[in-house]
A and B are shown apart, each in its own frame.
Chain A
Amino acid sequence: MESGGAGITEEQARNRFQLELEFVQCLANPNYLNFLAQRGILRDRSFINYLKYLLYWKEPEYAKFLKYPHCLHMLELLQYEHFRKELVNAQCAKFIDEQQLLHWQHYSRKRMRLQQALAEQTQAQPQTAPPHGNAAAK
């Protein structure tokens, strides 16, 4: 494997792709963000530029490779200095984590409620449903 002498090899391109794919998704993890913040990495100018560069993952042709789409929202938030500053707090990270989990569970809960509602409905129905022999209405 070449060490980056004459241009970029396919291998290198793929590696870089892989690395950036992994890294951008790590950003979905608030604990990891807190980790980075506490080590001052979020204050580093070149890192901040890197975060801006990573925004290309929002384009559909790249986004389709993301398994954890939450990372895109985090990436957007990370563009703001205020957010980066706040992440130093462990409490802040914890709060984000909690909210993220709750949001994650939102659809399951909604689905469960719908299922329950449906189950209740079908239980109530047999008493009010007309007998099948009645085709006279048509």
Chain B
Amino acid sequence: KKVNMAAAEKSTKERLLSVLDDLEVLSRELIEMLALSRSQKMPQPGEDTQILELLVQRDKEFQELMEVAQQQGKVHQEMQLLEKEVEKRDSDIQQLQKQLKEAEHILATAVYQAKEKLKSIERARKGSISSEEIIKYAHRISASNAVCAPLNWVPGDPRRPYPTDLEMRSGMLGHMANLSTNGVNGHLPGDALAAGRLPDVLTPHYPWQSSDVSVGMLPPHHGNDFGLEPPGHNKENEDDVEAMSTDSSSSSSDSD
């Protein structure tokens, strides 16, 4: 029997074996004694009884040990059964673990996708524009041929998808006084446009400049991040600006 007990005690197997050894030794001695007593008188009178007693004792020990061994065998069997049981439960748990993991993965994916969907819904909502505005704007940019060439356009036609020199000069920018700096103050080249200034009175009013600017419409704050100065105000500009400002008509009616 292979049961291992604590290191301090000898294992049952060892004890059994040692008892067997003792029995063997004792029986041998007994037999020798008996063999000797044939030929000569007993040297020690009580020795044979001693040995017999020892023999009986050892035999009793042996029997006891066998019982113990049997018990231990039973226990061992039970242990094995329990171990099997444990193994089974272990594998069950592992199986459940796997399934849980899968479920978690699936749920996580679903949640993630749902979140993405929500995000895009939010984005779509933020970008929504009233159809009326879009139609107004579409009309504005197409009627003026800003995005689509007029059907009768031929090379030589001065119309362009961008503001021409003439338009640029007649705008607010064009009327900015020639700023005395070296021309590079970031805010645009009033000097560039100011090159050909039209008389203020005759300033044509192009719809690309005016706008139905609501009072609350401010360009984003820019401070002096780019070393910019706010548009210069000198007397000249004031007049022009007044003329322009009073002209903020609704642009959807301007289809030039």
On A, residues with C-beta under 8 Å from B are: 1, 3-4, 8, 10-23, 25-26, 28-30, 32, 35-36, 39-41, 44-50, 53, 56, 60, 62, 64-71, 100-101, 104-105, 107-108, 111-112
Q: Are B163 and A68 interface neighbours, CB within 8 A?
A: yes
Q: Are B172 and A28 interface neighbours, CB within 8 A?
A: no
Binary CB contact string for chain B from 9 to 36 against chain A (1 if under 8 A, 0 otherwise)? 0000000000000000000000000000
A16-B231, A23-B188, A104-B147 given as contacts; is B226 within 8 A of A47 (CB)? yes
Which residues from A are CB-within-8-Å of B141? 66-69
Nearest residue (CB) in B for A16 is: B219
Which residues from B are CB-within-8-Å of A111? 151
Contact among B168, B225, B230 with A32 in the assembled complex (CB-CB below 8 Å): B168
On B, residues with C-beta under 8 Å from A are: 127, 129, 133, 136-137, 140-141, 144, 146-151, 153, 160-164, 168, 171-173, 176, 183-189, 192, 207-209, 211, 213, 215, 217-220, 222, 225-228, 230-231, 233, 238, 241, 244-245, 251
Which residues from B are CB-within-8-Å of A69? 141, 146-147
**Closest-CB distance, A26 to chain B (whole angstroms):** 6
Please name the 8 residue pairs, one residue from A and one from B, whose CB atoms are nearest each other, closest first: A49-B226, A28-B162, A67-B208, A46-B227, A46-B226, A29-B162, A46-B186, A105-B149
A29-B164, A67-B140 given as contacts; is B151 within 8 A of A112 (CB)? yes
Seed contacts A69-B147, A104-B148; 6 additional CB < 8 Å A-B pairs: A1-B233, A17-B213, A21-B209, A39-B183, A60-B129, A108-B149
A26-B173, A56-B219, A108-B150 given as contacts; is B245 within 8 A of A101 (CB)? no
CA distance A3 to B225 in the complex (A): 20
**Closest-CB distance, A99 to chain B (whole angstroms):** 11
Which residues from B are CB-within-8-Å of A65? 211, 213, 251
Contact among B147, B241, B244, B245 with A70 in the assembled complex (CB-CB below 8 Å): B147
CA distance A55 to B45 in the complex (A): 125
Which residues from A are CB-within-8-Å of B230? 4, 12, 16
Q: Are A13 and B226 interface neighbours, CB within 8 A?
A: no
A47-B186, A68-B208, A108-B153 given as contacts; is B213 within 8 A of A29 (CB)? no
**Closest-CB distance, B17 to chain A (whole angstroms):** 92
Contact among A14, A18, A50, A66 with B186 in the assembled complex (CB-CB below 8 Å): A50
Which residues from A are CB-within-8-Å of B207? 67
Which residues from A are CB-within-8-Å of B183? 39, 41
CA distance A3 to B173 in the complex (A): 18
Which residues from A are CB-within-8-Å of B188? 19, 23
**Closest-CB distance, A2 to chain B (whole angstroms):** 9
